[in-house]
Structure 1
Amino acid sequence: MTTSPTARRSSRWGTILRGVPRWVFIVLSALVVLPPVAWILSTSLKLPADTIQFPPKWIPDPFSFANYAGIFTPTNMRFFLNSLIYSCGSIVLALAICVPAAYVATRFRSRRMETVMTGILVLSMVPAIVVFIALYSMFVKTALINTYPFLIVVYAAIICGQTILFIRNFIENIPLEIEEAAAIDGCSRVQILWRIVLPLIRPGIAAIAIFIFVFVWNDYLVGTVLATTQDMKTVQNGIVQYLQTGYGAFWGLFAAFVTVAFIPVLALFALFQRWFIAGLTSGGVKG
């Protein structure tokens, strides 16, 4: 039975009308999010005198890259290096701890295990600032204060609760029959985790790794409270220091610094976009 042209036209218009609310939401969201981003980018390309000009101009005239050249100082490079070390170190440490923990919590279910997972969920809701004073008092008299391992451990501890819960959700989607077949073939639990589970949840791990990187890269509180020396501060501390330095000519440097600080996050998402989206969707599908 063929569909008449009138029916096809009506169906097409119905599809278009159903998509209108979605596009309205996208346009309104873009109008809220994009203007500040465009303004920061525009300010970063202006001459110092043009950054405080009134009325302001959206399009720089002339374009100048002097602000970008001015932010590449040894201190600023140390900020970027610190944030990169903290982010990558936290990803490695958190995944090394959370993947085995999530696997055990998924495959060895019991009432006690569910109680532990509930406790992890509750503790993950506690603001990190609550334990910062105790952490600072504990480590201030040791050689660990103001060291990379100390800050990486703190970041990993903050994110571990949510990471275990996310990875557990991905592991639950793997049919148990696959692991049972591997066990019959002689694989141990460690081999099953390494050879079967990890490849199957790779999109989820990529999504979680991006979340951890963005969380650590954008964090301001830990770097402020627990990194007490200038050479251990993060990118977010560097942004705030520009605001505390002064006004006028500093706005161009500030805008350039913010733009450069955003590039690693944007590049990471662009590189792993396919895995990131696959990880977000696979977590909600039961096998």
Structure 2
Amino acid sequence: MKARFGISIPPVAAALPDVIDMALAADADGLDLVAIQDHPYNAQFADTFAVIGACLAATGRVSLYPGVANLPLRTPAMIAKQAATFDVLSGGRFELGLGTGAFESGVVGMGGPARKGRAALMALAEAIAIIRAQWRPGQLVSVVGTEYTVQGIEGGPAPAHPIGIWLGAMGPHALDLIGSAADGWVAPLPNWMPWEQWADANVRIDAAARSVGRDPRTITRLAALPGVVSDRPLHPNPRGSDPIHGSPQEWADLIARLAYEAGFDTFIYWPPGFDVDQVQRFARQVVPLARKLLGDS
């Protein structure tokens, strides 16, 4: 699988022109993906799906995805409808990141369900089944679950391309679900899961995939890379929850290690604030060096 590169942007309502500028910079400089973070309970954030629509309209090449969509506050049937619509309107430039919601208190405060453990995992599994069924026009969608039940509606519309369903998760059983049923893993930021644990997580995903007869190589692995692209060496070898602070070559070396040693194929830069210069440094300096190390140049 050829390596892909992108950025992650928070949909701050007071900075929406800057959000668009960041997406435009990613589009102009050849990046593959733009993630828009989804925390609806954050009073400073605009609606992620509306922001994605605006970014898709402003760009012409780059793909967008929610990083990741808050399932408890967005029903799977409506997520399926929105995803397919975005994909049709953009000519196949939408992917679907999906998660159980990072902050339970915020979800409950907005009227969402308080799901933990098995219930949260079942909700994800049922959501995947509903979303995929709804993307098949002409067939009745019937999924009866413990958290979601959809019966008697007709599937459609179909997306313009096979949309990937990428789960943001880190628990062992959630990693198993990725291997058995999802199309990708959106690894959490290192302050949620330290760098050193990422390789073992991918090994678990691989094992779950093989257990159901899937080829692990078909599952996308997205690494979250927070930090600063600097003019000089600063912090070349992050550990634990450290952000990355280093030169373009050090960034490229780290990306190559994550690819060869931890199994990642997609690398999402989390720049500090709304810094177009940092996006350009990543796209123009880091990515070409990383592609050369990965044999993609």
TM superposition score category, shorter chain reference: under 0.3
Instruction: Select the structure with the greater relative contact order (CA < 8 A; seq sep ≥ 6).
Output: 1
Q: Which has the larger radius of gyration?
A: 1
Q: Normalization by structure 1: what TM-score? A: 0.23
Higher strand share: 2
